[in-house]
């Protein structure tokens, strides 16, 4: 199908850049509901008079309704995507009202992860806005008896200059609604010179609500008659309740009853973990009752899991030949030549998300259907798992998406939403499940623990003649298949198979590792450990070769070229390599840019101070980062300054993008300084911010400068790409300042003090 | 019965005296501006003012709140926005926003005590408030902007 039809005929579009090289519009269509079906939950956009797209409606009073179908967790996508619609519509932003979509396949994929909201929905937003503008112009031209080609739009009005006719969008909405929705080929998009909002940006639509405490997060959702639940879950993954005694729990004032939740069936996926829920009149009573539970657990096979032993296992695996996932030339032959070789082991532990809003969800089961309110990145997955758990159709689950108090990937996994639905069904009343911080840290889907073995041979000029790298980590697919032990292409691509260096001999390998905890996506995911190893090892080689790290890095990146992934499984973050080729010239450019902006080689660095560099492409965005550190005699590390240069293609909302990179430096600081989850006998050792510290105001970069390349390339990710190169540059700076090489994260293991 | 004032309004509470003020505000009064983040006073998301002092409401029991004047974000400014809130908007501080109420309550208390805090004083006063999105650079700038406006 290549037409957009009126939504009442149940056809809708979803985004997708299918262009080559430059931005060209492409749309995919599919139908979901048969004609005559009622939508489970109409939006104001659906009900508006003029309604050319599921994302947009215009009322006769001039109000423009724009549907935000992606979740808002702080990246401002809830504002930035509607800005694209408003721009193409030539709408007055002050007349725009944004409404949050429920989970519904008619919006396409809603899983707000992978830094692709803008990339995947930019075209769909433009088409929505341009379609309405087209219809408004047609309606005005008809009314005035002039050719539509002579009419134009200006902020919320259609104008015919020669006759002086002018009509507002509101005045034209009724007449425009009677016209057919145009085909994409009929649309004329605004030239860049006419953009009002794209490239300029806007602050969050919710800004005032955010500073007045009126913003509604999942934690703030309330329903009349709702009960509160707190769940004691099996301390070891796959464990279950042997027996329990709730007598003391039931004595706590406000506690109504306890409810067992079944253990999950392998593999865990997004199922509830099981355990005993305490149901009470308020959150505090539920927490107190839970403390009085007496439960005897059957821990199961994962009781054998100890982090220290596991680290050794990963390392041993990485020292033996593993599965080859990319190979150029002949590494072994090159190593056999007897040139100087360097080897290094790098290690990154499990990491927890620790979003400021602990997991929480409210659900009501009624008449065989569920209505849920949750801070979820993935409402459609919530519908699916609730449907499975309750034996109902996902179409009988309405999932409202509240604001998210942070997500970072954890809230893509709706196990907590399913818990609320299961408990509501058992109680016959709405139930809000509130996770404590301890629950949030102990029952996470952790970023994988990873061990990386690196080896290089250096030629006479100091450049590598051969490069071998092996990574070993429990893969994310293990949450869906307990036998999955190798990295999947979607995560090996993240800074591993796509090492961008121009090397005569290169071998990239991956080894097996069995998961004993749930592994999941966390901001930047596998890029965190892969970029850490590659970019720190690069710095090691530069020093071994007696070269300046920036010059050396540029030498390895080589001259501008497009990486050939022939014979390599390289999904390119779900984007086509034609539209988003891997261009080393862009990585070079940001590296040169950040070196210049940071004053690399020009600033003086005294005793205990140093700077480090790293460059990395992830989520289709190229980033280079310079970090400056100061380490005092007590081993305390300060970060006076960070410089980040990025090429993310077209940047729709520069201010929000800047904020994402400032935040990435802080997120990276937490990973590098103190990020570590460990387990003893299968039980997670950490519990709250005292033993899983995250960076505070006195520990973060004092100043983060963000420089954006002005680019017309298609838009790429901005939420995640700032994290990986920050961590590596920070560790390289510590080496420059102290002569101590960070190979194990976090840096507390280095013994600086 | 425990008597206290919340945003100038007299309230009485006959429930469990060990209940933290946070859950009284959120679950009993339905004032959800103050947030739950850690439950043990380590993150600052629950910060309110008790008799004018920045206080972690998640570890302040109702027994301890008895007879006190509690101010939450809902009552920080009677007319319009407090200078701190204005500065937070002007500098575009929030990302997810969840911690920001606690940050602003802490900052407002700081500015009550110190008209023109230095960077070191800001860090000292604000280091109990975690922002996982990493808006610290803007928080520092916003506190200075608010200090300027209040001067």
- Residue A80, domain member (yes or no): yes
**Is the same domain home to B88 and B67?**
no
Of A254, A356, A701, the CB nearest to B96: A356
Last residue of a domain, one of B18, B42, B75: B75
pTM tops 0.90: yes
Last residue of a domain, one of A409, A434, A459: A434
Nearest CA to CA, how far is B52 from chain A (Å)?
18
**Is the same domain home to A346 and A381?**
no
Nearest CA to CA, how far is A170 from chain B (Å)?
31
Q: Which residues of A546-568 are buried (b: 16+ CB within 10 A; e: fewer)?
A: ebbbbebbbbbbbeeeebebeeb
Of residues A753 and A218, the one with the higher pLDDT is: A218
Q: How far apart are CA A320 and CA A315, in angstroms?
A: 9
**Is the same domain home to A410 and A544?**
no
Last residue of a domain, one of B26, B52, B75: B75
Is A60 near chain B, with CB under 8 Å? no
Q: How far apart are CA A376 and CA A71, in angstroms?
A: 7
Q: Which whole-number Å values give the CA distances from A333 to A320, A329, A378, A453, A467, in the listed order?
A: 17, 9, 48, 19, 12
**Is the same domain home to A418 and A477?**
no
* CB–CB contact B126 A697 (8 Å): yes
Q: Domain limits at A430?
A: 218-300+359-434
What's the farthest any 2 CA atoms get from each other in chain B? 44
**Is the same domain home to A376 and A512?**
no
- Residue A577, domain member (yes or no): yes
User: In the prediction, which pLDDT does A391 show?
Assistant: 98
Last residue of a domain, one of B53, B75, B97: B75
**Is the same domain home to A469 and A592?**
yes
**Is the same domain home to B65 and B115?**
no
Helix%, strand%, coil% for chain A, nearest 5: 35, 25, 45
User: In the prediction, which pLDDT does A605 show?
Assistant: 82
The pair of three-digit structure tokens given for residue B110, joined into one six-digit string: 């700081």
User: In the prediction, which pLDDT does A427 show?
Assistant: 98
Read off φ and ψ for residue B51, nearest 5 degrees: 50, 40
- Residue A79, domain member (yes or no): yes
**Is the same domain home to B71 and B92?**
no
Of residues A20 and A654, the one with the higher pLDDT is: A654
**Is the same domain home to A427 and A550?**
no
- Residue A211, domain member (yes or no): no
Report the chain A residue with the minimal C-alpha distance to residue B75: A212
Q: Is the pLDDT of residue A515 over 90?
A: yes
**Is the same domain home to B49 and B97?**
no
* CB–CB contact B135 A659 (8 Å): yes
Contacts of A639 (CB under 8 A, 6+ apart): A627, A628, A629, A630, A669, A699, A700, A701, A702, A730
Q: CB–CB of A413/A430 below 8 Å?
A: no
DSSP state of A677: B
Report the chain B residue with the minimal C-alpha distance to residue A213: B33
Q: Is the pLDDT of residue A35 over 60?
A: no
Count of the separate structural domains present in chain A: 3
| Model pLDDT for residues A602-629, shown as the tens digit of each residue | 988 888 999 999 999 999 999 999 999 9
CA-closest candidate to residue A275, choices A246, A239, A304: A239
CA angle A538, A542, A546 (to 5 degrees): 170
Nearest CA to CA, how far is A468 from chain B (Å)?
35
- Residue A507, domain member (yes or no): yes
Tell me the residues of chain B between 22 and 81 that have a Cβ less than 8 Å away from chain A.
23, 26-28, 30, 32-40, 42-43, 45, 72-74, 81
Count of the separate structural domains present in chain B: 2
The pair of three-digit structure tokens given for residue A64, joined into one six-digit string: 């423009």
Q: CB–CB of A351/A446 below 8 Å?
A: yes
**Is the same domain home to B133 and B91?**
yes
* CB–CB contact B104 A700 (8 Å): no
Read off φ and ψ for residue A460, nearest 5 degrees: -60, -30
The pair of three-digit structure tokens given for residue A687, joined into one six-digit string: 């519990």
CA-closest candidate to residue A671, choices A455, A401, A348, A284: A348
CATH code where residue B6 lies = 3.10.20.30
**Is the same domain home to B141 and B96?**
yes
**Is the same domain home to A487 and A418?**
no
CA-closest candidate to residue B102, choices B140, B70, B130: B130
**Is the same domain home to A513 and A657?**
yes
Q: CB–CB of A113/A520 below 8 Å?
A: no
Contact list, B96 vs chain A (CB under 8 Å)? 72-74, 355-357, 403-407
- When the pLDDT of each residue in chain A is averaged and rounded to a whole number, the result is 94
CA-closest candidate to residue A179, choices A62, A72, A58: A58
Sheet containing A609-618: order of strands: A609-618, A621-631, A637-647, A704-708
Q: Which residues of A330-340 are buried (b: 16+ CB within 10 A; e: fewer)?
A: ebeebbeeeee
Q: Which residues of A679-688 are buried (b: 16+ CB within 10 A; e: fewer)?
A: beebbbebbb
* CB–CB contact A404 B127 (8 Å): no
Contact list, B89 vs chain A (CB under 8 Å)? 203, 207-208, 211
What's the farthest any 2 CA atoms get from each other in chain A? 84
Tell me the residues of chain A between 202 and 231 that have a Cβ less than 8 Å away from chain B.
203-204, 206-208, 210-217, 219-220, 222, 228
CATH code where residue B118 lies = 1.10.150.120
**Is the same domain home to B71 and B98?**
no
Of residues A234 and A9, the one with the higher pLDDT is: A234
**Is the same domain home to A339 and A371?**
no
Q: How far apart are CA A373 and CA A44, in angstroms?
A: 19
Average pLDDT over residues A54-70: 97
CATH code where residue A256 lies = 3.30.365.10
Q: CB–CB of A204/A79 below 8 Å?
A: yes
User: In the prediction, which pLDDT does A604 show?
Assistant: 82
Q: Domain limits at B142?
A: 83-150
Is A254 near chain B, with CB under 8 Å? yes
User: In the prediction, which pLDDT does A606 show?
Assistant: 84
Contact list, A355 vs chain B (CB under 8 Å)? 96, 98, 132
Report chain A's C-alpha Rg in angstroms: 27
Contact list, B73 vs chain A (CB under 8 Å)? 212-213
Confidence of residue A20 (pLDDT cuts 50, 70, 90): very low
Q: How far apart are CA A47 and CA A45, in angstroms?
A: 5
Q: Is the pLDDT of residue A36 over 60?
A: no
Nearest CA to CA, how far is A83 from chain B (Å)?
17
**Is the same domain home to A245 and A365?**
yes
> What are the residues facing A344 on neighbouring strands?
A454
Q: How far apart are CA A335 and CA A323, in angstroms?
A: 19
Q: Is the pLDDT of residue B103 over 90?
A: yes
Q: How far apart are CA A207 and CA A403, in angstroms?
A: 12
| Model pLDDT for residues A78-132, shown as the tens digit of each residue | 999 999 999 999 999 999 999 999 999 999 999 999 999 999 999 999 999 999 9
Residues A313, A319, A324, A328, Cα dihedral to 10°: 150
CA-closest candidate to residue A69, choices A79, A58, A78: A78
Task: Show the 3-state SS of chain B.
Answer: CEEEEECCEEEEECCCCCCEHHHHHHHHCCCCCCCCCCCCCCCCCCEEEECCEEEEHHHCEHHHHCCCEEECHHHCCCCCCCHHHHHHHHCCCCCCCCCHHHHHHHHHHHHHHCCCCCHHHHHHHHCCCCCCCCCHHHHHHHHHHHHHHHC
**Is the same domain home to B71 and B91?**
no
**Is the same domain home to A623 and A480?**
yes
Of residues A25 and B104, the one with the higher pLDDT is: B104
CA-closest candidate to residue B32, choices A498, A245, A260, A402: A402
User: In the prediction, which pLDDT does A40 show?
Assistant: 58
**Is the same domain home to B71 and B94?**
no
**Is the same domain home to B120 and B143?**
yes
DSSP secondary structure, A177-190, as one string: HTSPPPPGGG--PP
User: In the prediction, which pLDDT does A23 show?
Assistant: 22
Q: Is the pLDDT of residue A24 over 90?
A: no
| Model pLDDT for residues A380-391, shown as the tens digit of each residue | 999 999 999 999
| Model pLDDT for residues B6-57, shown as the tens digit of each residue | 999 999 999 999 999 999 999 999 999 999 999 999 999 999 999 999 999 9
User: In the prediction, which pLDDT does A31 show?
Assistant: 30
**Is the same domain home to A461 and A581?**
yes
Contact list, B97 vs chain A (CB under 8 Å)? 74, 206, 210-211, 215, 403, 405
């Amino acid at each position: 199908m290549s037409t957009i039809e009126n939504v009442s005929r149940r056809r809708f579009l979803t985004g997708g850049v299918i262009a080559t090289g430059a931005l060209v519009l492409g749309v995919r269509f599919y139908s979901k509901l048969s004609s005559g079906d009622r939508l489970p939950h109409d939006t104001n956009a659906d009900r508006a008079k003029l309604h050319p797209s599921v994302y947009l409606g215009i009322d006769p009073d001039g109000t423009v309704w724009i549907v935000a179908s992606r979740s808002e967790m702080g990246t401002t996508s809830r504002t930035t995507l509607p800005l694209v619609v408003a721009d193409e519509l030539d709408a007055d932003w002050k007349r725009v009202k944004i409404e949050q979509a429920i989970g519904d396949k008619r919006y396409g994929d809603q899983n707000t992860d992978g830094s692709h909201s803008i990339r995947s929905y930019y075209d769909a937003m433009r088409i929505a806005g341009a379609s309405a503008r087209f219809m408004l112009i047609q309606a005005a031209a008809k009314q005035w008896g002039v050719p539509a080609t002579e009419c134009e739009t200006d902020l919320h009005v259609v104008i015919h200059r020669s006759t002086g006719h002018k009509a507002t969008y509101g005045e034209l909405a009724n007449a425009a609604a009677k016209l057919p929705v145009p085909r994409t080929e009929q649309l004329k998009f605004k030239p860049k010179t006419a953009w009002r909002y794209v490239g300029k940006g806007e602050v969050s639509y919710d800004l005032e609500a955010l500073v007045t405490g009126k913003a509604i997060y999942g934690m703030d959702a309330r329903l009349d008659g709702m009960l509160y639940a707190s769940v004691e879950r099996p301390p070891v993954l796959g464990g279950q309740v042997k027996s329990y005694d709730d007598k003391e729990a039931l004595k706590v004032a406000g506690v109504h009853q306890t409810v067992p939740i079944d253990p999950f069936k392998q593999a865990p996926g997004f199922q509830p973990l099981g355990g005993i829920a305490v149901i009470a009149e308020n959150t505090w009573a539920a927490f107190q009752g839970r403390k009085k539970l007496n439960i005897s657990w059957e821990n199961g096979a994962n009781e054998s899991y100890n982090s220290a032993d596991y680290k050794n296992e990963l390392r041993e695996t990485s020292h033996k030949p593993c599965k080859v996932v990319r190979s150029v030339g002949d590494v072994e032959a090159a190593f056999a030549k007897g040139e100087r070789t360097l080897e290094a082991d790098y290690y990154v532990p499990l990491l927890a998300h620790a979003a400021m809003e602990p997991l929480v969800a409210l659900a009501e089961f009624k008449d065989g259907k569920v209505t849920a309110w949750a801070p979820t990145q993935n409402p459609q997955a919530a519908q699916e798992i609730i449907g499975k758990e309750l034996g109902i159709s996902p179409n009988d689950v309405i999932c409202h998406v509240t604001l998210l108090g942070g997500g970072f990937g954890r809230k893509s996994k709706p196990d907590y939403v399913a818990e609320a639905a299961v408990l509501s069904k058992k109680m016959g009343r709405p139930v809000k499940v509130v996770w404590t911080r301890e629950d949030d840290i102990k029952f996470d889907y952790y970023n994988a623990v990873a061990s990386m073995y690196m080896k290089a041979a250096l030629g006479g000029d100091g450049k590598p003649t051969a490069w071998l790298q092996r990574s070993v980590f429990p893969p994310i697919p293990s949450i869906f298949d307990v036998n999955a032990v190798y990295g999947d292409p979607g995560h090996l691509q993240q800074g591993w198979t796509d090492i961008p260096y121009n090397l005569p001999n290169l071998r990239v390998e991956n080894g097996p590792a069995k998961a004993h905890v749930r592994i999941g996506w966390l901001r930047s995911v596998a890029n965190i450990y892969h970029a850490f190893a590659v970019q720190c090892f690069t710095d090691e080689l530069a020093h071994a070769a007696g070269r300046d790290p920036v010059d050396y890095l540029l030498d390895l990146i080589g001259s501008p070229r497009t990486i050939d992934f022939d014979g390599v499984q390289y999904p390119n973050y779900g984007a086509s390599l034609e539209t988003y080729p891997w261009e080393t010239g862009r990585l070079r450019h940001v590296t040169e840019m950040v070196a210049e902006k940071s004053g690399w080689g020009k600033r003086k660095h005294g005793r205990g101070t140093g700077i480090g560099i790293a460059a990395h492409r992830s989520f289709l965005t190229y980033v280079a980062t310079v970090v400056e550190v100061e380490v005092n005699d007590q081993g305390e590390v300060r970060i006076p300054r960070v410089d980040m240069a990025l090429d993310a293609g077209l940047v729709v909302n520069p201010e929000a993008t800047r904020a994402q990179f400032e935040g990435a430096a802080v997120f990276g600081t937490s990973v590098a300084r103190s990020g570590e989850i460990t387990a003893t006998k299968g039980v997670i050792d950490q519990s709250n911010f005292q033993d899983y510290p995250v960076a505070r105001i006195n520990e973060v970069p004092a100043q983060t400068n963000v420089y954006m390349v002005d680019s017309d390339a298609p838009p790429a990710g901005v939420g995640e790409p700032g994290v990986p190169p920050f961590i590596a540059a920070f560790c390289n700076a510590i080496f420059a300042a102290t002569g101590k090489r960070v190979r194990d994260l976090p840096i507390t293991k280095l013994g600086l003090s | 019965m425990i008597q206290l004032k919340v945003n100038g309004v007299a309230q009485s509470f006959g429930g469990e005296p060990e209940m933290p003020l946070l859950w009284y505000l959120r679950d009993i009064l339905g004032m959800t501006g103050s947030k739950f983040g850690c439950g043990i006073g380590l993150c600052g998301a629950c910060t309110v003012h008790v008799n004018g002092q920045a206080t972690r409401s998640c570890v302040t029991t109702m027994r301890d709140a008895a007879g006190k004047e509690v101010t939450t974000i809902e009552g920080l400014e009677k007319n319009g926005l407090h200078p701190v809130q204005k500065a937070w908007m002007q500098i575009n501080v929030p990302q997810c926003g969840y911690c920001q109420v606690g940050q602003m309550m802490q900052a407002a208390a700081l500015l009550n005590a110190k008209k023109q805090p230095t960077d070191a004083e800001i860090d000292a006063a604000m280091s109990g408030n975690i922002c996982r999105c990493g808006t610290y650079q803007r928080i520092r700038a916003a506190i200075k902007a608010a200090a300027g406006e209040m001067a």
